Amino acid sequence: MTVIFSKKCEYGLQAVLYLAAKDAGEVVSSDDIAKKLNIPKEFVSKILQSLTDSGLVNSKKGKAGGFLLAKHPANIRLLDVVAAIDGLEIFNSCVLGFPNCSPDHPCPLHEKWGALRTSAYNMLTEQTLDQLKEKTLNKIAHLEV
């Protein structure tokens, strides 16, 4: 169940984590990513193309084409991926969708959501792709396709 991110963002995070777990400069096809992560191929291609447009991923065309990270994994934060796909509005808006939600005019969840939102934002800001390589490899090894 998605709580904060769109399905597109979840898949994008999975895909870049997968790319970060590969050897530096290794080009990976969208077919390989889709099969390994059990994500529809068409969805993977669209997501990675949008990440290419944002400068986080590079693409190579041709028979041996595919995708690779545009930067070293230590220089890509999880927040960068979220910002490129979903934007950062979730960290600035009311979780219940009330207009003009603020500390002066809070919604019923304002205080609790604010603490969760800040915690999530900080975690996404602090975590880089390279910090999650081993955990990613372990998770991928245990995926049922």
DSSP string, 29-61: -HHHHHHHHT--HHHHHHHHHHHHHTTSEEEE-
pTM higher than the cut 0.95:
no
Beta strands in the chain (DSSP E): 57-60, 66-69
pLDDT tens figures, 56-112: 999 999 888 899 999 999 999 999 999 999 999 888 888 888 999 988 999 999 999
| CATH number, position 107 | 1.10.10.10
Q: pLDDT-based confidence at 52, cuts 50/70/90? A: very high
The neighbour count for residue 134, using CB atoms within 10 Å, is 10
Predicted local confidence at residue 4, as pLDDT: 80
If one counts the domains in the chain, the total is 1
- Percentage of residues in the chain with pLDDT exceeding 70? 97
Predicted local confidence at residue 3, as pLDDT: 65
d(CA 2, CA 111): 21
Residues 29-51: what's their mean pLDDT?
93
Residue 42 lies in a domain: yes
Predicted local confidence at residue 1, as pLDDT: 40
Q: How far is CA 52 from CA 47, 85, 105, 117, in A?
A: 9, 11, 40, 27
pLDDT tens figures, 112-133: 988 998 999 999 999 999 999 9
Residues 130/25, Cβ–Cβ less than 8 Å: no
d(CA 133, CA 79): 16
d(CA 93, CA 113): 10
Q: 41 lies in which domain range?
A: 7-141
